[in-house]
A and B are shown apart, each in its own frame.
Chain A
Amino acid sequence: MSVLINKDTKVIVQGITGKAATFHTKQMISYGTKIVGGVTPGKAGQVVEGVPVFNTVRDAVKATGATASVIYVPAKFAADSILEAIEAELELVVCITEHIPVLDMVKVRRYLEGKKTRLIGPNCPGIMTSGEAMMGIIPGMIQEKGHVGLISRSGTLTYEAAYQLKNAGIGVTTAIGIGGDPVKGTDFIDALKLFKDDPETKALLMIGEIGGNAEEDAAKWIAENMPDKPVTAFIAGRQAPPGKRMGHAGAIIAGGKGTAADKIKALNAVGIEVADTVAHIGETVVRTLKAKGLYDVCHTC
């Protein structure tokens, strides 16, 4: 079991003929992902990494039976690609693209209402279910199969954290990179809900950063809804000055809100331990698992 994707999920790649998309398509296939086709308008009939290319998402879905799409389309056109994937009734859409205008994402969020699609991202590394499938740009070697669910706003911190867990002998069910944009498809609570219902996932690791109040909301939700699955956290940006965008569009302290201190306080208040530094993520998770008597069952690699 896992969340969102497994080895049988049929995936198409939007923007497949782009250089980065082709590279990552190869990586996804070699990890075991069932990539069944790609979409680039005007390139129908071509074959990339052994899969057929179509002009539209509807054409690709009709021919392949795909239920998921991963998007590598440039920022100017990416929101439109997301709309196309939602309209084609895909169950899962993962958008990797960074720098999509915020007001474009406001429209996408509106269009998502009442639709069956779950959107992950944009501006995210994607999702990886250990040993089964990966959608995005996550390097395959970072994680092993196990029982910890990983949710993160940052790409490299996802890798860093999963890798520290692996070195500590702790495996991961699925890693979800929810992305660093202010307006996105899936936030912490949405992702937590998925893991709550997954019997294989015994514990969670949440990696947040400055900006917004999704971590505070998640802390409250966890305390009220998920008492049986312990959560460990890390928050990046303790030293970030107010009003400065720290790389990610969403990583900004505005009007005194969204500080790391507020988030850590909210998490600690509901009994969630927050790692002191990025180098302490692995050992903090191990400590939490031991305290909750889950270390042995989670020690899978």
Chain B
Amino acid sequence: MNIHEYQSKGILREYGVNVPAGKPAFTVEEAVKAAEELGSKVTVVKSQIHAGGRGKGTIKGNESMHGVMLAKSTDDVKKYAEALLGQVLVTKQTGPEGKKVGRLLIEAGSNIKKEYYFSFVVDRTQGRVVMMGSSEGGTSIEEVAAKTPEKIITDTIDPAIGLASFQAQRMAYAIGIPQPAVRKATATFLKLYDAFIGKDCSQVEINPLVVTEEDDVICLDAKLNFDDSALFRHPDVVELRDESEEDPKELEASALGLNYVNLGGDVACMVNGAGLAMATVDILKHFGGDPANFLDIGGGASPEETAEAFKIMLEGGQAKGIFVNIFGGINRCDLVAEGIIAAAKLVSKDGGKSMPVPVVVRLEGTNVDKGRELLKNTPIQNVIMAESMQGGAEQIVKLVKEAEKA
């Protein structure tokens, strides 16, 4: 799960980490009020969206306006808030369609001497948390890794000990924190580790971490991501979820406990198992289709769940055809067939006689004959049995292309 920058900074504040004074604003009035209360010489107006690259990103139709603006007066704050709120921000990470700015962070400017990079991530190979730092702050770490990999310092943390002070201090020296700020940087790294562990993060990224002219250490930006599997022990984090940042179909599917990712195309698929679901998306593309989604309905989906999944795929006219790809292992093909028949009744406009778009069904595995028999005996117009997975994938792509021409 992702949260906004101002929310990340709120959590870090709880752990005693030094972040700039600031307040979120949902309206222009709130932005101006926040700036007045801060009373700082320079105020930073920062768009809050779930994507990076905001500083260089621009507003659609108003390219002189960036996602992050420096204001020298409250009039400036008002001007920038008006130009950002409700507009679409396009950054390197949002794709050309961009993201709508619904919230701002109004923050006191800092007297920056130098910028650094700092983060914690879980290293899959070692199975441990790794601390990363670099003297090259402010640019993306991928860029630094590509151009000057020697400028990225990493250190592995033993979970039995946690981050040791000497490691945090060694990192401060390694990335070139000036001596008067080393103690503060070390303390900051230790507190950030506490936050990482305390909130079950999958990533804590501070880019940039800055040393000010006054030799203070401040986390100027903060990105916290959380392990979805651990959210059950962090109800406070769950409350920070901003649903407007998420795809409405994905939101709906997740409320139903379905594993769904919107891929934007028009050939939909419904599959059991995450690996097979990924592979089904791939095979649709292989045969020239434009995949609409990834959908794993899991082991034993009920007819109602199957019907809900169909509804989500069809919503907004997105799916022009659906490929049902099932390998019956523990779950049986006859139950899946019953699910499709029940789903047809719920989504069809003529009482289950026909599906609104072509549905190609590939069944294999446990009780496959029974499943095929069931579908044969309950003919639904537009529901076609495929002889093989390849045949089914080719057929649905062809049917969708025909529908597009018609």
Contact = CB atoms under 8 A, between A and B. Distances in A.
A118 interface: no
Interface stretch (A83-91, A265-273, A275-283, A288-296): A275-283
Interface stretch (A5-13, A54-62, A205-213): A205-213
B174 interface: no
A18 interface: no
Interface stretch (A31-39, A64-72, A150-158, A221-229): A150-158
A76 B281 CA distance: 32
Contacts of A29: none
Contact of B263 (A213, A241, A255): A241
Contacts of A137: 329-330
| Of listed A180, A244, A279, A280, residue having the most chain B CB within 10 A | A279
Given A160-B327, A217-B125, A279 B388 contact: yes
A99 interface: yes
Contact of A246 (B128, B277, B328, B389): B277
B117 interface: no
B281 A240 contact: yes
Nearest to A182: B124
A110 B286 contact: no
Interface residues of B, number: 52
A75 B284 CA distance: 34
Contacts of B142: 255-256
A154 B285 CA distance: 20
A106 B291 CA distance: 35
B122 A183 contact: yes
A153 B278 CA distance: 12
Nearest to B230: A101
Given A101-B229, A183-B124, A239 B285 contact: yes
Contacts of A158: 275
A22 B128 CA distance: 34
Nearest to A141: B366
Contacts of B365: 139, 141-142, 159, 163
B229 A106 contact: no
A237 interface: yes
* Chain A interface size, under 10 / 10 to 19 / 20 to 34 / 35 or more: 35 or more
B330 A139 contact: yes
A217 B282 CA distance: 23
B259 A247 contact: yes
Contact of A209 (B129, B278, B389): B278
A120 interface: no
A155 B275 contact: yes
B82 interface: no
B125 A213 contact: yes
B127 A278 contact: no
B331 to A, nearest CB: 9
B298 to A, nearest CB: 9
Contacts of B276: 154, 156-157, 160, 236, 278
Given A99-B229, A103-B230, A183-B122, A157 B275 contact: yes
Interface of A: 24, 27, 75-76, 99-107, 109-110, 137-139, 141-142, 152-160, 163, 180, 182-184, 187, 207, 209-214, 217, 234, 236-241, 244-251, 255-256, 260, 276-280
8 contacts: A76-B232, A102-B202, A154-B274, A155-B275, A156-B276, A156-B327, A180-B275, A240-B281
Given A139-B330, A154-B273, 20 more contacts: A107-B159, A110-B128, A110-B160, A142-B329, A157-B279, A160-B276, A160-B279, A160-B364, A212-B124, A234-B279, A236-B276, A237-B278, A244-B261, A245-B228, A247-B278, A248-B275, A249-B228, A251-B274, A256-B142, A277-B393
